Structure 1
Amino acid sequence: MDKEEAKAKVSDLVGGFFSYDRQGKLAGMSEEDTKRAFIEPLFEALGWDVRNPEEVWENRSQAGGKRPDYAFRIDGVVRFFLEAKEAHAELSEPEAWQAINYSYNNSVPWALLTNFRELAIYNANWKAKGSEDSRFLRIEVSDYIGSFDDLWLLSKEGMVSGEMEKKAQRYGRLAREPVTKALYSDLMRWRSMISKSVSKNDPRKKFTKELLDEAVQRFLNRLIFIRTCEDRKIENEQLRAALRQWEGKNNRKLRSYVQEIVSEGFVDTYDSDIFFPHMAGELPVEDDVMAQVLDELYESPSGAQYNFDAINADVLGNIYEQYLATVMREGGSLVERDGKRKEMGIYYTPTYIVDYIVKNTLGELVSKAKTADDLRKITVLDPACGSGSFLIRAFETLREEYAKKNGGDHQMLSENVSKNAHDILTRNIHGVDLDMKAIEIAELNLLLRAATRRGLLPPLSDNIKRGNSLISGTKEEMEGHFGPHWKEKHPFNWETEFKEVMDGGGFDVVVGNPPYVRFDNLNEEERKFLFENYQTAVQKCDIYSFFIERGVSNLKDGASLGFIVSSSWLSQHSFNKLRRFILDTCAVKQIITTPSDTFEDAAVRTVIIILEKTKSASKKENNNVLTGTIDEKGRISNAKRIPQKIYSQHDDNLFVLEWDGEIQKLEQKLVENCKLLDDAAELSFGIMTGDDSKFTYSEKQHPKEDKKVLRGGNVKRYNIVWTGEYVWYDPEMMKKHKETARPGEPARFEAEKIVIKREGAGMITACLDREKYYSIGSTFIVNKKDVEFGLAYLLGLLNSKLINWWYGRRYRTVTQSINSYQKIPIHLASSSEQQPIVKLVEDMLDLNRKLVGMGAIQSSERHGVEEEIKRTDAQIDELVYRLYGIAEEEKKVIEESFAKN
């Protein structure tokens, strides 16, 4: 429906409304009547499919009272909430403010309130003291046609185009702090306040730092659970009532009122570990601190009114993932340690990634289930569950499927919610994490999903467990590997911890976001264990490699794994065993590239990988891999199907995601009549000093041992820009200072050589050094080995478009491995065939030296040199194309690929 058709339909609705008004029918219309007669048809005219719950979800629950009537979604993302009232009712301030706060707490920017007589649009992100401050537009029914452009902002088309956001930006209003940041800030402040208060009032040091941290977390978890139950209207506002009672009497400690709520109202009612006797109930928190925390659980100092029913799992998960990265000091003070986050590989997975992985693994499986009994048999595992985001989405997927198996009757599901939640959490869902804090948070998040009415909650201790997913074995095996203190490794014996599942062949689905931790960062004992127990173990790999191997090993035949991991495994040599393992054991269903900023604080490119474990050789042979790129709305672009056998046949089993049959033939053509660079020359790393801060200087300090040194940043195409840095080249001293130092032999630096910049994301940057520079480990060195090839000839090939195109299709990671350079195909050219390239390379070296000598000042002479460099570079490219026998059409493909980049 286009805009004019929509306008005509709205005009008819307005006419009908006024007709009802004249006849006196509006006064007798209920809210339900108003919704069906006017509000739903209005949004239907604006292009929304109001009968499709995936697009327009209607709240039919009679419980509660804080949830808006409708959520309007595009690609699964809520764009605005709408609260409906009967046609004769006034749009009140409390109702508007409630809708605004619900939207804010759910991280949704827009809230609507309408009785059809008028429609008010509010921006939930604006700083406001009341609903009037948040109001963006107000349209009366008499203006629906005259102000149709404003009304059209709410159309599905308008929401997709973002016109309302663009118009709102022109208002220049200050945004309030997002709920994620506001609640995180408050949570951390409460944690610090309580911890300091306890430390001050604990003279006998009953609470050690570790015990205090654990008790405070349990205490806050209890408060959040209670507040969520209050906002869901399944409990009265007990915390606020306790605060008021204490303020009125003030004859005993406030903490005793809170503990009374726990022991008398929640232990027996919910029967959950979170409320069982714990040191959290004995925290000697001062009354003023406790009062402030309880009060702020309802309204933050920033003005945010918290509705914990509206704060979804994604928001809580993000908050808690940041929470896990903080460390408590003695005395109860907290410090955020980004280092801890990196050390543990903690990065919260965006919702759209979680949704996509769960949909394409568990979602595929549940759609095939015929009965509720079939659903109960499904087992899901996240082996690095963190705060539980993947398990929560799995829970929701299963819960939705239970509803369908009940004939889509949500009321029936509501009546059976305890049984269904119990089945899902005790039969379907399994999680493991090394961090006990993460386990408690995952349990809390899952229990919050299940707590939709008063009643016993399922026990989670048999399904959500602490342990090191990668270290498994019997007591005897663990003692043999790690000695008498083996329990400190928290080994996780899969065969006993999840005995029923493993005896049944394994899990049906494994999902997650494994930690990003370099293999080198583990201690020697752990590295030794992994090398002996994982076939994918290679020096310089990452532990996500072992999580993939463990995940696949824990699957049944025919079951699915979905992970988001670094893209480094696609091409780096240190993951060649992982690639072989995947190809030997799985049909690779999907490899989806994610946006570059998927993880805000992690400088890593990632991919989603979906695998199906199979023993069938024909299934793997005939399988096609879906590749593409996902955006933040979960949509896939540039989708292609690549035969899996291509990867099995590919050199080093590289996974190239931009495959094309004709291009494959072109790549094959490049390697004909060639030697590998590793056979044509000597390749080595630059100096690994072990400690650059000790062995590199900006001025000479050791006249004999100090050498001019290059870093990767000093290496340009056909040019060196030395910045005055020296290396104290004393191999014995380097090794003595640090065992990991690798100074190498000086002869390779003293000779003429090619120096390559190690970082390049699929691009080669190389220069020729005749000045005997030394270089650091951010470079590779190419020394002459075969008299058949001169270094100038090799340099021309390395810097050419053709070789860069070949290289870039295989190796995309920012930091390159030496193995990737070793495989570069060097054409077997005779001396006379090499000579034209050598001459042009020498010209390029001279021209670049001349350009550097001119400094940064622009002049016609400088411009002339720059143009000559471009022409010479193009001539080298042309000679290389001819040398490798590249036809004009093939050349066009290569040139176009550079134009796109």
Structure 2
Amino acid sequence: MGSGDRVTGGALLARARAAAERRGVEEVAFELAFALERGCGVLGLPPGRLGPEEAGRLYEQLLATCSASRKALGAFYTPQPVARAIARRLLADVDAGGPVPRIIDPACGTGAFLLAAARALRRRGVSPRAIGCALWGIDRDAGALALCRAALRAEGIAVPRDHLLQQDALLAPWPRAHFDRILGNPPFVNIVRLPAPQRQALKARYRSFRNKCDLYGLFVEAGIDHLALGGRLSFILSDSFLGTDSFAPLRRLLFASEARRVRRIDRLAGATFGAKVRAVVLEVEARPPDAAVPVALGRIDAAGRVEAGHALPHAIFRRRAARSAALPEDARQLAWAEALEAEARPLSDFLELSLGVKTGDDGRFVSPRRRGRSARRCVRGRDVGPFSITDRCYIDYRPERLRAVHGARPRRPESFLRPMKLLLRETSGARLIAAVDTEARIPLDTLHALYPRAEGPNGRSLHGWCALLNSAPLCRWYALHHPGPHVKAGEVRRLPVPPPRPEPLSARLNALPALAAYLAGAPWHRDIEAAPEAVLDCLGRWMSGHRDPRGQAAIDRLCAKLYGV
């Protein structure tokens, strides 16, 4: 073939986009499917140049350019090397002369997993006819289903027409009551994005439904309910299901069940998907858990190479399912986290939490300059650093006016107008960033506001709490359990914190001079540790005006002692 026949990926995508603008994305999918089945040219490509993987990848890229379509479908299609690794492992025990397992992908898209499963079965010596009869797929996207069927036919696999169904796998009945293997990459769509009638239907049907969970969690529940005894499920999921509150019911279904066990969890390489998500591969077996069989933890890179890791007893995940089943790097890290939690209490025992103000229209209510008598200083998440706040904007804070705006949440004014409060960033990633506000600023919705409970125990100042929240031990614990980009209110309320302890005056009188000497360059003195509450208060105040590595090191050391780690 001459150089003039070559079409770059960018040029091909440009042609596909132009065709989609004229005829629609779905019509382009049908054209690609027809070209795959008949081996004819398409979009300027000569006959035979379009392979199954290329067609699926092109359709995925086309959806990516139509952000509304991609967001509505939750479509992030799987690279073939990753699908191949998952399918081969799931079908490694199939024998050519034995029964062929019934396989389904309930969100099959363009067929990456069904194609990988077909090739894995063929490697095991299974005939093309038997493979076609063993495969099922479900998807809502008619264009993707057409490409899936065409890709399988291009491999010589004829799937019966009623084995590939265009329907909602979460609400419509599946083609069989039970399957031996279930695999796929279910859609990453937050429940709140769905129409209200669909949310109500899902809520009535699924035990794991919560208002802020993702559809992929419901796919897991649907999948394990359709597993035959001894069958196995392998799904790509966001790792948020391991630590986020809204997935606690799903974790209980997985780890606290007597009817199934989690075989393994593998992290996927960060570059596997274009989506900003940390993905894992979950494998579940419909068999009662065995205390002697641990949960294997490993890694799969973008090329499909599987790296073995360590293993943890199933009992650990069962014990922690209600709170967090986040993946530690090793058993020592988990032991460290449990030691930190041993004598701690939830932060909500000591501090109340209020969400920041949501205006519904920042351009209308928030300004870099003061406008009008109702304007008050406000603060956004990006304006808060460890121990520090930068003033950058004002808000027209009139609750009655805000309530008239769709989506606005003015919250309770009395929460924000207190002389002192603690502000915690909501978008700080896998760590905690807090500062004390002493000027009654109004926090926006990228911040949480914390203040002492009137009826709760006293003994730790807000500056002391600020030091604790910015400390290395608590940030390390948080990163282990909640690796996502957002710091959720429920996660904050359940943060394990050491309760305040009374300190004799003599200990304070000895500790504070020793601390002053340490900050001035003297060696660490054990008198500092005799009054940790007083010292944390002083360090919190000191760090609000200084970026002092010795001050941060002192906070980390004191907090480690308070936690016993």
The answer to whether the superposition gives a TM-score over 0.5 is: yes
Deviation at 1:630, TM superposition (A): 2.0
Other-structure match for 2:488: 817
1:364 aligns with 2:103: no
Deviation at 1:431, TM superposition (A): 0.4
**Aligned counterparts of 1:401 and 1:352: Cα–Cα separation in 2:** 18
**Aligned counterparts of 2:35 and 2:350: Cα–Cα separation in 1:** 68
**Aligned counterparts of 1:717 and 1:507: Cα–Cα separation in 2:** 52
SS at structure 2 position matched to 1:597 = coil
Other-structure match for 2:391: 722
TM-score where L is the length of structure 2: 0.88
SS at structure 2 position matched to 1:652 = coil
Other-structure match for 1:883: 562
SS at structure 1 position matched to 2:235 = strand
Say if 2:37 and 2:151, in contact at 8 Å, map to a contact too: no
Paired letter, 2:277:
V
1:710 is aligned, of 371, 379, 387, to 379
1:646 aligns with 2:316: yes
1:374-453 equivalent positions in 2, closer than 5 A: 374-375=99-100, 378-402=101-125, 420-425=127-132, 427-450=133-156
Other-structure match for 2:426: 758
1:593 aligns with 2:267: yes
Paired letter, 1:605:
R
Say if 2:84 and 2:120, in contact at 8 Å, map to a contact too: no
Other-structure match for 1:222: 34
**Aligned counterparts of 2:28 and 2:498: Cα–Cα separation in 1:** 67
Kindly provide the CA deviation profile for residues 847-896 of structure 1, in whole angstroms up to 9, marking residues without a partner as x. 2xxxxxxxxxxxxxxxxxx5xx111111122222222333xxxxxxxxxx
1:577 aligns with 2:249: yes
TM-score where L is the length of structure 1: 0.56
**Aligned counterparts of 2:321 and 2:159: Cα–Cα separation in 1:** 50
Deviation at 1:717, TM superposition (A): 0.4
Other-structure match for 2:280: 607
Greater RCO, CA 8 A, separation 6+? 2
- CA 1:666 to 1:422, structure 2 compared with 1: closer, same or farther past 3 Å? closer
Instruction: State how many pairs are aligned.
Output: 531
SS at structure 1 position matched to 2:440 = coil
SS at structure 1 position matched to 2:39 = helix
- CA 1:743 to 1:580, structure 2 compared with 1: closer, same or farther past 3 Å? same
Other-structure match for 2:535: 836
**Aligned counterparts of 1:395 and 1:421: Cα–Cα separation in 2:** 8
**Aligned counterparts of 2:544 and 2:155: Cα–Cα separation in 1:** 66
1:560 is aligned, of 229, 232, 236, to 232
1:469 aligns with 2:169: yes
- Fraction of identical pairs, as percent: 26
Say if 2:188 and 2:214, in contact at 8 Å, map to a contact too: yes
**Aligned counterparts of 2:96 and 2:121: Cα–Cα separation in 1:** 13
1:871 is aligned, of 538, 543, 550, to 550
Kindly provide the CA deviation profile for residues 276-311 of structure 1, in whole angstroms up to 9, marking residues without a partner as x. xxxxxxxxxxxxxxxxx69x342xxxxxxx643xx4
Deviation at 1:177, TM superposition (A): 6.0
Query: Which stretch shows the higher mean deviation, 313-322 or 796-805?
Result: 313-322
**Aligned counterparts of 2:191 and 2:266: Cα–Cα separation in 1:** 25
Paired letter, 2:424:
I
Kindly provide the CA deviation profile for residues 160-202 of structure 1, in whole angstroms up to 9, marking residues without a partner as x. xxxxxxxxxxxxxxxx864x44444444455667x4xxxxxxx
**Aligned counterparts of 1:769 and 1:843: Cα–Cα separation in 2:** 14
- CA 1:220 to 1:680, structure 2 compared with 1: closer, same or farther past 3 Å? closer
**Aligned counterparts of 2:63 and 2:430: Cα–Cα separation in 1:** 35
Other-structure match for 1:666: 336
**Aligned counterparts of 1:579 and 1:538: Cα–Cα separation in 2:** 12
Other-structure match for 2:358: 688
SS at structure 1 position matched to 2:373 = coil
Say if 1:563 and 1:610, in contact at 8 Å, map to a contact too: yes
- CA 1:608 to 1:689, structure 2 compared with 1: closer, same or farther past 3 Å? same
2:545 is aligned, of 826, 837, 846, to 846
1:262-301 equivalent positions in 2, closer than 5 A: 296-298=44-46
Higher helix share: 1
Other-structure match for 1:319: 58
Kindly provide the CA deviation profile for residues 566-614 of structure 1, in whole angstroms up to 9, marking residues without a partner as x. 11111111111111111125311121111222212x1111111111122
- CA 1:214 to 1:793, structure 2 compared with 1: closer, same or farther past 3 Å? closer
- CA 1:604 to 1:661, structure 2 compared with 1: closer, same or farther past 3 Å? closer
Kindly provide the CA deviation profile for residues 826-857 of structure 1, in whole angstroms up to 9, marking residues without a partner as x. 2223243311111121111232xxxxxxxxxx
Deviation at 1:536, TM superposition (A): 0.5
Task: Point out where structure 1 has 5 or more consecutive residues left out of the alignment.
Answer: 1-97, 102-127, 131-175, 196-209, 229-238, 240-292, 299-305, 326-335, 404-419, 452-457, 472-491, 848-865, 887-901
1:515 aligns with 2:187: yes
SS at structure 2 position matched to 1:780 = strand
Say if 1:796 and 1:841, in contact at 8 Å, map to a contact too: yes
Say if 1:324 and 1:437, in contact at 8 Å, map to a contact too: no
1:519-558 equivalent positions in 2, closer than 5 A: 519-558=191-230
Larger radius of gyration: 1
**Aligned counterparts of 1:443 and 1:423: Cα–Cα separation in 2:** 16
- CA 1:508 to 1:702, structure 2 compared with 1: closer, same or farther past 3 Å? farther
1:800 aligns with 2:471: yes
1:746 is aligned, of 397, 404, 413, to 413
